[in-house]
Amino acid sequence: MGNLKNKMAITLRIDHIAVSSNTEEDSDNFFAKLLDMKKERDFIVSNDLMEQFFGVKKDQRIVRYGNDEVSVEVFITDDNSKILDKFTHLCLIIEDREKLIEKAKQLNFKVIKVPRKNSDGFYLFLKDHFGNLYEIK
């Protein structure tokens, strides 16, 4: 068979990530105010496409935020649901974590700061109002 691994190499690049939020206001607070991302566009995905993609038959409003490094599509639920998955998270690299912590506290986001053993450092996670979890490095 030869070296199939080299013949099947795939170039991979992330175009965007997708999360959910109960309201556009919550979404704006996290992505625009906290992370300083620009709101790029707001669009509706039709119920027939949503059913084909996700098995959910309803029109879905999506707000897209971005910067030079990443884009995020936020599915606006317009309800009071919360995320059920406790482990899935995104890891974001931030230049000034202490500044971000203070800003997150001011905007009432949950800050999870856990000391590292045998180190002065710490693990940092932020949770948005929907319950999405973000590791911050």
Q: Which two tokens stand for residue 48?
A: 């027939």
For 86, the domain range is 4-136
Residue for token pair 């709101």: 39
Give the global pTM: 0.85
Give the angle 120-92-62 at the CA atoms, nearest 5°. 150
* Number of structural domains found in the chain: 1
Q: Residue 89 sits in a domain of what CATH number? A: 3.10.180.10
* CA separation for the pair 102, 111 (Å, rounded): 9
pLDDT tens per residue, the chain (137 residues)? Answer: 555 556 667 777 889 999 999 999 999 999 999 999 999 999 999 999 999 999 999 999 999 999 999 999 999 999 999 988 889 999 999 999 999 999 999 999 999 999 999 999 999 999 999 999 999 99
